[in-house]
Amino acid sequence: MKRLLFILVFIIPFNSFSQTYYNPEKDINLNLKISIKNPYSIYAGSNKTNINYSDMATSFNNNFQLTLQKRADLKRYYDEIWQKTKQEINYNTYLTPYEEINVLIYKLKESALTYLDADNYGLKRGWIKPNEYEQAVPAIFNSYINVNQLLLNLARFKYEKMQSYKSDSEKEKFNILFKKILSSIKGINTTGLGGSQMFKSSFHHPKVLFESNESTNTSKLYEFVVSSVNGNYESYLNAYKNFQVEESKKRTADGLQQKRYKLVRDSILKSREKLLLTFSKKEKSKFKKSELNYLLNSGLWAWKYKKKYVPKRWVKPKLITQQETNFEKAFEKAHWGVFMPKLEKISDHMRYYFIN
């Protein structure tokens, strides 16, 4: 079944909220698209006219009133495409005879309507630009229709699979597995605009690792369900368990590293404090200059801001302050990627200075 939908301003009639049930015995193709043409764009070109300076005040007033009218028309236009798109989603929603699939369709529909409401709100608050909004509205609708089609394809797959089994026990076994797989999908959403970033349509399957992720683009939804039915579901569950084991090992290793860091840091702080007590004022000043030079060139304080290394001249005043007030603070700002191999060398530096 091929249908072509074009939403044009003030042309599409208001449709009553309804939804259609799909018969999986037949093929279906939801070929529905939205296109938007903004007749009120304030960026549209206008006819050029020669301005008579004697009529400037009148011309300005007319243009000002025209601008106000355009803005009022734009507001009505944006509200109308928002409301009409929501109506079209309700009108063109297709359900199936299978409740487990319908649950996902309802979640998908909720996601689309939520995105439309949020984007319209963001437009009115100035968080979303008009051209971004005009791109987002049809993207949400088209994404919704495409994913609704995928879910109808799954209904067709289930129907054909059930027909291929001869015994009721085989059908029941398949039905239980199919429902279990779909119940593992806890969320599904359409494409949508978040702030100024367009998020792609995806479905979420926590504790089930598919292609190394717990969230996957909806273009992979059919593949995920079919491959799970065909024997891979347990492997996806085991992949998540193995991932959790590796993450636990990593957290343990990180915890041990942090404990080691704290021991080394405390040792350095104590030895530094004892060492400073043995110095005269002149020796202490000389030591701190030498220490500061080492710290600035050690790579420990290679701070980054917006992916660029902060110049040493910015870091130097802070380190000088921390040397005098609270040297422990200097360690809190150390660059974690490089400090462990070099941290003990600070104490070596102190011993070298003391000996010499």
What is the number of structural domains in the chain? 2
Confirm whether 151 is domain-assigned.
Answer: yes
Of the chain, the end-to-end C-alpha distance in Å amounts to 89
260 found inside a domain: no
Say if 345 falls within a structural domain: yes
Dihedral sign, Cα of residue 66, residue 71, residue 76, residue 81: positive
Strand 19-21 versus strand 93-95 pairing type? parallel
Q: Do 296 and 206 share a structural domain?
A: no
**CA separation for the pair 59, 56 (Å, rounded):** 5
CB 185 within 8 A of CB 215: no
Per-residue model confidence (pLDDT) at position 355: 43
Q: Is the pTM of this model over 0.75?
A: no
In a domain, 95, yes or no: yes
Do 127 and 237 lie in one domain? The reply is yes
Are 216 and 315 found together in one domain?
Answer: no
Same domain as 301, residue 162: no
Distance CA 119, CA 107 (A): 18
Which residue type, as a one-letter code, is found at position 153? N
pLDDT at position 285 is 86
User: Is 269 a member of any domain?
Assistant: no
C-alpha span between 148 and 189 (Å, rounded): 11
**Burial of 149 (C-beta count, 10 Å sphere; 0-12/13-18/19+):** middle
Q: Tell me the per-residue pLDDT of 12-38, one tens digit each, with 9 for 90 and over.
A: 343 444 568 777 777 777 776 666 665
Residue 270 forms part of a structural domain: no
Angle between helices 233-277 and 336-355 (to 10 degrees): 20
Shared domain check, 173 and 76: yes
The tokens describing 25, both together, are 């015995």
In a domain, 3, yes or no: no
Shared domain for 92 and 201, answered yes or no, is yes
Does one domain contain both 286 and 233? Answer: no
Residue 317's pLDDT is what?
81
> What span, in angstroms and rounded, lies between the C-alpha atoms of 344 and 265?
8
Clarify whether residues 221 and 351 are in a common domain.
no
Is the same domain home to 283 and 243? no
The residue among 200, 223, 247 that closes a domain is 247
**Is 94 within the bounds of a domain?**
yes
Chain Cα centroid distance, residue 4 = 31
3-state secondary structure of 339: helix
Q: Do residue 326 and residue 193 come from a single domain?
A: no
* Distance in angstroms (rounded) separating the CA atoms of residues 145 and 122: 24
State whether 197 and 307 are in the same domain: no
For tokens 């304030």, what's the residue? 42
Residue 266 has a pLDDT of 79
Indicate if 123 and 217 belong to the same structural domain.
Answer: yes
Torsion from C-alpha of 151, 155, 156, 161, nearest 10 degrees: 130
Extract the residue ranges of the chain whose pLDDT is less than 50: 1-17, 40, 42-54, 335-338, 354-356
Domain of 217, in residue numbers: 19-41+57-247
